[in-house]
Chain A
């Protein structure tokens, strides 16, 4: 048998293949790592996988949520273990191959130097990966896992156990009447909100940029500074200010502005449709300056020759705008514009800070202007319906990912990154 195969087979126990290759120190290191892996993580792996499978069997000894968390950490640890195992197998195989071909084995010193040279990118991106795994990936996996349990107020530790229920929660969203109607009304408003509010802010931003950028307009600097202000002031501050301005009984909009023109007070915060209108107007106010800034940058980079040539050909101002200005703007700002839509789809702050998603709708866990994100937030923090919230999170993530993928295919950003 060839040495590489023997070394590979022996390496099923980490280190043995290296011993066979007469690389004693390396073999000891691998063996040492292998043993300590099981010594350190043995309990965690054992508990973790058992817990993940059963979510606990006895109250109050077992805590389903702990067990689930431990199980997920066990999976992550296992993946790292497997990666290490793969390195071990590969090293034994590679060196066995060198023996077969009668080449000198790589010395420990060379291996070390190699590791330093090749390991550099791993070394500098390692911390990021570590943070990503524990601050982003683990919580997301945990949330997703909850969607397949029945974890809620009545199935929570320490008094009760939660259990795996498969796709029950998803099925319930579409079959239980009150859930289905709430889900679809929230989803509907989320989509309308995203489309209308984002389009308004984009259109307003582009329009203002074109307006200010007219060659013969004076006071450009003043207008630019003023128009950028809503972007410069922190968003949460402005939203809370607007909540005060729109207040039904004390707010300045009802009391000063509308009263001045003789319009009766409008129930901005208590009537669903008026709240929606207020939200969309506010988002227009908050969001257009950024588009304005980006578009202004684009406009200033369009060469004058283009317009010159068009004028000589007798194109009207309108034709110049339609055939030169607009395409230039849209091409350059398309990625920024799309992010406005995805941003608003998840724009929790404006919905929640303005009116808490209200006015409340009787018999429903979602308020009249709740979008999916704020509904999930309420389900989690206020009514402890964790599994429902988790299932909705998954549905929403699928939706967002689908749109993002579509966008990436269109902008070819992915191809470039590859």
Chain B
């Protein structure tokens, strides 16, 4: 028995260590690359012989084709406003669906269900064509509006499911005490929906940060780029030519996001499964 246990644990540790190496290797390699002198991948080694901070300096030097700070700010701005907009739109709409029985409610719910199934890139051709003709190119606000629109259907459903599980008695007793609808929403429903709001806020913030397809359709000039497009162009303009600079840029964006994700992971998962099973 003890022998079996020993082998089981030994094999478990072996597999886990193997996986850990596979996971950590690319990350360490990137960190190494960012400190390597020179631009290309050829000379890149994991532990640089003569480490340099040149690439980090280059990021902030602000050349014509590499406006890292600007991209960072663009991404932050778009993510932040998408997050705020999505949380406001989604929570109000979900509150309406969860607590009121109004005409057209059923139709609206069906519409939301249908819209969440149609992938948003269906709109890609229209956006490309219209943005070109109408001169909406490079508009961050258009992009923010598109992101919010894309987030509404699914997240409203999740949020509604979550709010449905908050007992009605709470609203009713507040109503008897004379609280208005908006007050009930802000002081009772919102605080109780915090885990789900965290999920919506998180998807609202990270969605635009990882989006390539819509952003690359609308944003065309380097000063308007978001980080994904900027970094992609950095790597692909001359393949491998600026990989080390890219690595430096990638690290500066990954570390804050990774920390937020790791801190909030419990919230994220519990909120998602709770809302998900409710539908």
Contact = CB atoms under 8 A, between A and B. Distances in A.
Interface of A: 63, 65-66, 69, 118, 120-122, 124-125, 127-129, 131-132, 134-140, 142-144, 146, 157, 208, 211-212, 214, 216-217, 223, 225-238, 240-245, 247, 250-252, 285, 293-294, 297-298, 332-333, 335-336, 346, 348-349, 352-353, 356, 373, 376-377, 380-381, 386, 389-390, 393, 396-397, 400-401, 404-405, 408, 411-414, 416-418
Given A135-B148, A247-B240, A285-B22, A232 B257 contact: yes
Contacts of A381: 128, 217
B264 to A, nearest CB: 10
Contact of A244 (B122, B123, B243): B243
A356 B232 CA distance: 11
Given A294-B269, A417-B113, A235 B121 contact: no
A348 B259 CA distance: 26
Given A230-B23, A373-B119, A404-B117, 15 more contacts: A122-B102, A124-B93, A146-B126, A212-B16, A233-B258, A234-B254, A236-B228, A241-B30, A285-B23, A297-B270, A336-B272, A346-B121, A348-B121, A373-B213, A389-B124
Interface of B: 5, 8-9, 12-13, 15-16, 19-20, 22-24, 26-27, 29-30, 33, 40-42, 44, 89-90, 92-93, 95-97, 100, 102, 105-106, 108-109, 113-130, 133, 145-146, 148-150, 152-153, 156-157, 160-161, 181, 206, 209-210, 212-213, 217, 228, 231-232, 235-236, 239-240, 243, 246-247, 250, 253-254, 257-259, 261-262, 265, 269-270, 272-273, 276-279
Contacts of A134: 145, 149
A142 B129 CA distance: 10
The B interface is mostly helix, strand or loop, or mixed, namely helix
Given A229-B258, A232-B257, A252-B29, A136 B150 contact: yes
Given A240-B231, A377-B213, A297 B258 contact: no
A157 B235 CA distance: 35
Contact of B149 (A121, A135, A332, A349): A135
B45 to A, nearest CB: 9
A237 B206 CA distance: 13
Contact of B127 (A139, A241, A247, A393): A139
B145 A233 contact: no
A348 B20 contact: no
B267 to A, nearest CB: 11
B125 to A, nearest CB: 5
